[in-house]
């Protein structure tokens, strides 16, 4: 059921969507860390680096620890006004391999982008959320461009999914944090998308699945429609936030209903 703040949502000039939790739902795949660790061990061997202490089991443990550290870092980065994104080399050189001997560390730093891409593709299964195709069709029919505004350690992973499903062309712009070097809730993420589309942020809608990155980003950007879509983890806030989106929808089906109302000039 759609919940609204009582504020009238005007028809948007653009529809900006988060990727994970809005366009797709994700589910972690078993054994991905071990698979990635085996690949890393192969890279170290291929480079001729002697690192007997780095067993596949040890590398797996370091990848797990890096993920936990990355999660805490992301939570902390929801506090600054204009946070930057973590570089691929930082994740692998500092979060994974911070205590490795330098020759082994150099191997993963040199391969950091490809390792982040493999990690993203091997870690999670992605499924298009119910109603998303209907939403894209409705936006196309109304002449409203749809863009992606998403935090991502490797945004190419999202493009890989869209390419595989023939959906890349359905989006007029894709702003990924690793490519533009800043991350939500930095409002520059939204501004880059609206500039690319030639619209004002105050006339566009932004839809994300969490409060501390998405709703806060929309507020900082003074977005025209600040909409929260529920997904797993939506209400697991890292700290108390008194933020109220303009509307809360359960899924793309609910967002489509809200969009159709607005396009008909019906107050939400």
Structure token digits, residue 121: 């593709």
How confident is the model at residue 265, as a pLDDT? Answer: 78
Structure token digits, residue 38: 């085996």
The answer, as to whether pTM is greater than 0.75, is: yes
What are the backbone dihedrals phi and psi of residue 113, each rounded to the nearest 5 degrees, phi first? -60, -50
Query: Could you read off the pLDDT of 36-85 as tens digits, one per residue?
Result: 999 999 999 999 999 999 999 999 999 999 999 999 999 999 999 999 99
CA distance 153 to 136: 25
Query: Could you read off the pLDDT of 107-154 as tens digits, one per residue?
Result: 999 999 999 999 999 999 999 999 999 999 999 999 999 999 999 999
Neighbours of 27 (CB within 10 A): 9
Rounded mean pLDDT, 224-237: 96
How confident is the model at residue 3, as a pLDDT? Answer: 75
Contact (CB, 8 A) for 45 and 252? no
Torsion on CA atoms 150, 236, 127, 140, rounded to nearest 10: -50
- Print burial letters for 128-161: b (CB count within 10 Å at least 16), e (below 16): bbebbeebbebbeeeebbbbbbbbbbbbbbbbbb
Query: Could you read off the pLDDT of 179-199 as tens digits, one per residue?
Result: 999 999 999 999 999 999 999
Structure token digits, residue 106: 């150099």
Query: Could you read off the pLDDT of 214-225 as tens digits, one per residue?
Result: 999 999 999 999
pLDDT at 266 over 80: no
Q: List all residues 6 or more positions away from 245 whose beta carbon is below 8 Å from its beta carbon.
A: 5, 215, 218, 226, 227, 228
CA distance 219 to 78: 13
Nearest to 129 by CA among 16, 4, 32, 254: 254
Query: Could you read off the pLDDT of 74-99 as tens digits, one per residue?
Result: 999 999 999 999 999 999 999 999 99
CA distance 257 to 268: 10
CA distance 181 to 86: 8
How confident is the model at residue 7, as a pLDDT? Answer: 77
pLDDT band at 8 (very low <50, low <70, confident <90, very high): confident
How confident is the model at residue 1, as a pLDDT? Answer: 61
């Amino acid at each position: 059921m759609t919940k609204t703040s009582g504020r009238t949502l005007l028809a948007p000039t653009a529809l900006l969507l988060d990727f994970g939790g809005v366009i797709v739902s994700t589910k972690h795949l078993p054994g991905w860390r071990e698979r990635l660790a085996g690949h890393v061990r192969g890279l170290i061997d291929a480079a001729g680096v002697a690192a007997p202490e780095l067993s596949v089991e040890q590398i797996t443990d370091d990848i797990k620890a890096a993920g936990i550290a990355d999660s805490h870092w992301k939570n902390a980065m929801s506090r600054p006004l204009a946070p930057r994104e973590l570089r691929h080399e930082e994740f692998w050189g500092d979060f994974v391999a911070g205590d490795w001997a330098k020759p082994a560390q150099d191997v993963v730093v040199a391969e950091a982008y490809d390792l982040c891409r493999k990690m993203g593709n091997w870690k999670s299964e992605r499924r298009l959320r119910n109603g998303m195709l209907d939403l894209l069709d409705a936006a196309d029919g109304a002449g409203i461009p749809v863009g992606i505004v998403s935090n991502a350690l490797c945004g190419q992973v999202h493009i890989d999914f869209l390419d595989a499903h023939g959906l890349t062309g359905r989006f007029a712009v894709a702003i990924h944090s690793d490519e533009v070097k800043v991350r939500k809730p930095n409002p520059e993420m939204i501004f880059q998308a609206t500039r690319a589309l030639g619209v004002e942020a105050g006339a566009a809608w932004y839809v994300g699945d969490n409060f501390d990155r998405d709703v806060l980003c929309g507020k900082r950007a003074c977005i025209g429609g600040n909409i929260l879509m529920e997904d797993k983890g939506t209400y697991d806030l890292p700290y108390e936030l008194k933020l109220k989106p303009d509307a809360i929808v359960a899924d793309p089906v609910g967002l489509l209903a809200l969009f159709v109302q607005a396009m008909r000039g019906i107050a939400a």
